[in-house]
Chain A
Amino acid sequence: MEKAVKETDEKLAEEKQPGAAAWEPKIMAFVCNWCTYAGADLAGTSRMEYRPNVRIVKLPCTGRIDPLFIIKAFENGADGVLVSGCHPGDCHYTAGNYHARRRWIGFKSLMEFVGLDMRRLHFSWVSASEAIKWVDLINSITDDIKKLGPFMEYRGLK
């Protein structure tokens, strides 16, 4: 079932933009300074390798993330957006990530309602020591979105 969906998606992507295989998606990541940003740094110091498609915007805490940032990112050409911060209970600011999670739940259902393909929008916890998780996350999101093709629907809003 899942496989069939993926295949259709690939076909659609190919139809939308011939030669889509050469196309590279752009992914915007909003991350917190203390956990995920440090985790991404650790991937670097450990010389791991991952897809070069992600651009990071560093914020003090995921609690600082306004859902509007995500919409703006889509408007400005993001094909996918990732929000990532400290694990529940590990927040540098004690509870910021809980606020982020609560906000995320509401925002996610709104985006589902307006018809966004939720494979384009991800929320994750990556700690300062989880470089491998970061690498896997970026790779899998990039590969998934590559299959979906460019995200054009919100660009006209700009």
Chain B
Amino acid sequence: MARIGVFICQCGKNIESTVDTKKVADEMAELPGVVYSCNYRFMCSAPGQEDVKKAIKKHKLDGVVVAACSPHMHEKTFRRACEAAGVNPYKCEMANIREQCSWVHHDTTKKAGTAKSIDITRMTIERLKKNKPLKKISIPVNKRALVIGGGIAGIQAALDIAEGGREVILVEREPSIGGNMARLSETFPTMDCSQCILTPKMVEAELHDNIKLYTWSEVEKVDGYIGNFTVQIRKKARYVDEELCTGCGDCLVKCPFKAPSEFEMGLATRKVIYTPFPQAVPNIPVIDAARCPKIQKGKCGICEKVCGPGAIDYEQTDQIVTEEVGAIVVATGYQVMPTARFGEYGAGKIKDVITGLHFERLASSAGPTGGEIRRPSDDKVPDSVVFIQCSGSRDEAKGVAYCSKICCMYTAKHTMLYKHKVPDGQAYVFYMDIRAGGKRYEEFTRRAIEKEGAMYLRGRVSRVYERDGKVIVQGADTLSGDQIEIEAEMVVLASAVVSRTGADQLAQKLGISYDRYKFFNEYHPKLKPVETVTGGIFLAGTCMGPMDIPDAVSMGSAVAGKVLGLFSAEEMAREPITASVNTMICNACWDCVVACPYTAIEKEEVRNKKGEIVRVNAKVNDGLCQGCGVCVAACRSKAIDLAGYTDEQVYAAISVF
């Protein structure tokens, strides 16, 4: 027979004013298995907790029910007290007679409150009788981190983790790290050159002893759980031996074939063997296999002939490498909505309608025009440029509902860059609102308007079309109420920041959630902004939504703090609320495998001594199981149960309802 102690809290007057706690305690004393029952003014106070401990010793209690506030409030407190007195913490339960009883039933005759408290406490006692002692699960932690994405957020996270003394695997899909920030000309509001502040960080990441770089690589498969992930990385064939290549660049010079440059967003060409930009890290070229005549048809082979160290290898194939890590940082960044999406702005058919990211390349001194603003169609320096803000943003009918956050600022920057480079030129900006929240941001946009001569027009553009080599922009100025037609020579769309193509597939590989725009979801928008719901997987930068460089860098550092925290102990402890399979009953229907949201259930093969499979059954991985219990209800043969919420416990509570 159980030996249960019941403690009814008065919570000062909070419970006592509508519940007769003495009567509840007396009634509970009569129940079988209850050997001690009392009421007290403040159970959670130090003397209250002491009373619990004393009663445990004196009455040799093996279980405790505290009828007081919500378990969300003090379950931990009382479980700790019980543990200190030698009772397994999971043999302590709370009956919620405050939030869900005394506070919501204002009957001062105490009739309703007392009756309900008796029911609630009795149900909890019966449930407790079926509780099993449980032990916290400890998981070993592999103290290496994987960072997916080598943009500024990923680089920052990798550097900070590496500086904290832990190994980092940095995986980048492109041939070089740097991300979108490497494309930018100058950065708002300080106007310092993007490459000048980014390149040193890229080099630092390459040279850091604790960072292992995989460029031109993608995450193929992720298994495991917090502290113990196994990651397969596809190293795409580079056709250049990374060990032998010295980065001399002779192959790039001699290669006779050209293709549009991805890095320059089609504004320039690159060779078929190429590095995306001169400061690439690592400075090792890649052969564009689809366009290389040697690889396709066996004709050419010039790069191999000119390569001094003999690094060219046309036979190279994709390699799968496996890395074991304890934490994963996702920093896969963003892309911009392409001009083809905007039917009213020429549907991508007008050459001189470009996105803001294209303009960055035109303004960059390392860009295709050497930093001169020349329009793509005929290289002419445009005498007027119209900037259209909120292209695709803040209008669900035309694109996305959200604000892309960075466009107001970079458009102001673009008008200034244009003005500095083309002093006689006129910049026009169509805007909805100017959102310049941030340190020195408002001052920056005011400068563009007041000092740098940009003409800001509040209103939307209805149509953009070509006429006689000009780009005609028709729009409304809602402040004057006029219809406007501007004969511009170039149009720059502040095109919406959108998630990366394939973001959803990566999320599925990782088991993290994403929103309707395929931006990854943080665990909690305010209090857990860099965590995901999957333990051990973190987010940094624009893969979770539009943000500017300072925000992305802050997130990168924040994530590093989280990862280093996780790595600070040899093992991590977690709540033992996990499912387990009774293998004797499991009939291997795999309904649970399908139902589990965490891929925590595996198919286990049981073999005899000869190594023959004698049975297959489901098996729950404790490290992955989050304790939701979906599998328990899904199991037809009742082979799965959830510790802490077993069928037995639930039925016991219902039986005294």
Q: Say if the two chains contact directly (CB < 8 Å).
A: yes
Chain B residues near A57: list those with CB within 8 A.
123, 650, 653-654
Q: Are A60 and B627 in contact (CB under 8 A)?
A: yes
CB distance from A90 to the nearest CB of B (A): 11
Q: How far is the CA of A37 from the CA of B99 in the complex (A)?
A: 10
Q: Which of A73-115 contact B (CB under 8 A)?
A: 73, 76-78, 92-96, 99-100, 103
**Option from A50, A59, A61, A93 in Cβ contact (under 8 Å) with B650:** A59
* Residue A141, interface by CB 8 Å: no
> Which label, helix, strand, loop or mixed, suits the secondary structure of the A interface?
mixed
Q: How far is the CA of A56 from the CA of B650 in the complex (A)?
A: 11
**Option from B70, B103, B630 in Cβ contact (under 8 Å) with A99:** B630
* Residue A145, interface by CB 8 Å: no
Q: How far is the CA of A44 from the CA of B103 in the complex (A)?
A: 5
CB distance from A15 to the nearest CB of B (A): 26
* Residue A126, interface by CB 8 Å: no
Q: Are A63 and B654 in contact (CB under 8 A)?
A: no
**Option from A42, A63, A78, A94 in Cβ contact (under 8 Å) with B533:** A94
* Residue B628, interface by CB 8 Å: yes
Q: How far is the CA of A48 from the CA of B106 in the complex (A)?
A: 9
**Option from A44, A76, A77, A93 in Cβ contact (under 8 Å) with B630:** A93
**Option from B100, B119, B627, B647 in Cβ contact (under 8 Å) with A40:** B100
Q: How far is the CA of A103 from the CA of B633 in the complex (A)?
A: 9
Q: How far is the CA of A56 from the CA of B597 in the complex (A)?
A: 26
Select the residue from B113, B533, B650, B654 with max chain A CB neighbours within 10 A. B654
Contact with A along B66-103 (1 / 0, CB 8 A): 00001110000000000000000000000010111101
Task: Report the nearest B residue to A95, measured CB to CB.
Answer: B597
Q: How far is the CA of A46 from the CA of B583 in the complex (A)?
A: 47
Task: Report the nearest B residue to A75, measured CB to CB.
Answer: B654
Q: Are B100 and A94 in contact (CB under 8 A)?
A: no
Chain A residues near B100: list those with CB within 8 A.
40-41, 43-44, 56
Q: Which of B97-154 contact A (CB under 8 A)?
A: 98-101, 103-107, 112-113, 115-116, 119-120, 123
Q: Are B597 and A72 in contact (CB under 8 A)?
A: no
Task: Report the nearest A residue to B112, measured CB to CB.
Answer: A52
* Residue B252, interface by CB 8 Å: no
CB distance from B508 to the nearest CB of A (A): 12
Residues of B in contact with A, size category = 35 or more
* Residue A49, interface by CB 8 Å: yes
Contact with A along B569-602 (1 / 0, CB 8 A): 0000000010000000000000000010110000
Select the residue from A56, A64, A67, A77 with max chain B CB neighbours within 10 A. A64
Residues of A in contact with B, size category = 35 or more
Chain A residues near B647: list those with CB within 8 A.
66
Chain A residues near B106: list those with CB within 8 A.
49
Task: Report the nearest A residue to B116, measured CB to CB.
Answer: A52
* Residue B215, interface by CB 8 Å: no
CB distance from A113 to the nearest CB of B (A): 20
Given contacts A38-B72, A52-B116, A94-B533, A45 and B654 within 8 Å (CB-CB): no
* Residue A11, interface by CB 8 Å: no
Q: How far is the CA of A119 from the CA of B75 in the complex (A)?
A: 35
Chain A residues near B366: list those with CB within 8 A.
none
CB distance from A62 to the nearest CB of B (A): 9
* Residue B356, interface by CB 8 Å: no
Q: How far is the CA of A62 from the CA of B650 in the complex (A)?
A: 13
Q: Are A93 and B597 in contact (CB under 8 A)?
A: yes
Task: Report the nearest A residue to B626, measured CB to CB.
Answer: A93
Q: How far is the CA of A130 from the CA of B271 in the complex (A)?
A: 60
Q: Are B119 and A55 in contact (CB under 8 A)?
A: yes
Q: Are A94 and B597 in contact (CB under 8 A)?
A: yes
* Residue B257, interface by CB 8 Å: no
Given contacts A49-B104, A60-B628, A78 and B657 within 8 Å (CB-CB): yes
Chain B residues near A135: list those with CB within 8 A.
104
Chain B residues near A23: list those with CB within 8 A.
none
Q: How far is the CA of A69 from the CA of B642 in the complex (A)?
A: 15
Chain B residues near A92: list those with CB within 8 A.
533, 628
* Residue A26, interface by CB 8 Å: yes
CB distance from B231 to the nearest CB of A (A): 21
Q: How far is the CA of A52 from the CA of B100 in the complex (A)?
A: 9
Q: Are B99 and A41 in contact (CB under 8 A)?
A: yes
Given contacts A56-B100, A96-B628, A69 and B654 within 8 Å (CB-CB): yes
Q: How far is the CA of A50 from the CA of B100 in the complex (A)?
A: 10
Chain B residues near A76: list those with CB within 8 A.
654-657
Chain A residues near B626: list those with CB within 8 A.
93
Chain B residues near A121: list those with CB within 8 A.
none
Q: How far is the CA of A47 from the CA of B99 in the complex (A)?
A: 8
CB distance from A30 to the nearest CB of B (A): 8
* Residue A65, interface by CB 8 Å: yes
Chain A residues near B655: list those with CB within 8 A.
72, 76
Q: Are B123 and A55 in contact (CB under 8 A)?
A: yes
Chain A residues near B564: list those with CB within 8 A.
none
Chain B residues near A61: list those with CB within 8 A.
628-630
Q: Are A60 and B577 in contact (CB under 8 A)?
A: yes
Q: Can you sample 14 A-B contacts with CB below 8 Å?
A: A28-B654, A40-B99, A47-B104, A48-B104, A52-B115, A55-B119, A57-B123, A59-B645, A61-B628, A65-B633, A93-B628, A94-B533, A95-B597, A99-B633
Which A residues lie at the B interface, using CB under 8 A? 26, 28, 37-38, 40-45, 47-50, 52, 55-61, 63-67, 69, 72-73, 76-78, 92-96, 99-100, 103, 135
Q: A49-B105, A60-B645 are in contact. List 10 more A-B contacts (CB 8 A).
A: A42-B99, A43-B99, A52-B101, A56-B120, A61-B630, A64-B642, A69-B654, A93-B630, A99-B630, A99-B633
The 5 closest A-B pairs by CB, nearest first: A64-B629, A44-B99, A93-B628, A63-B630, A44-B103
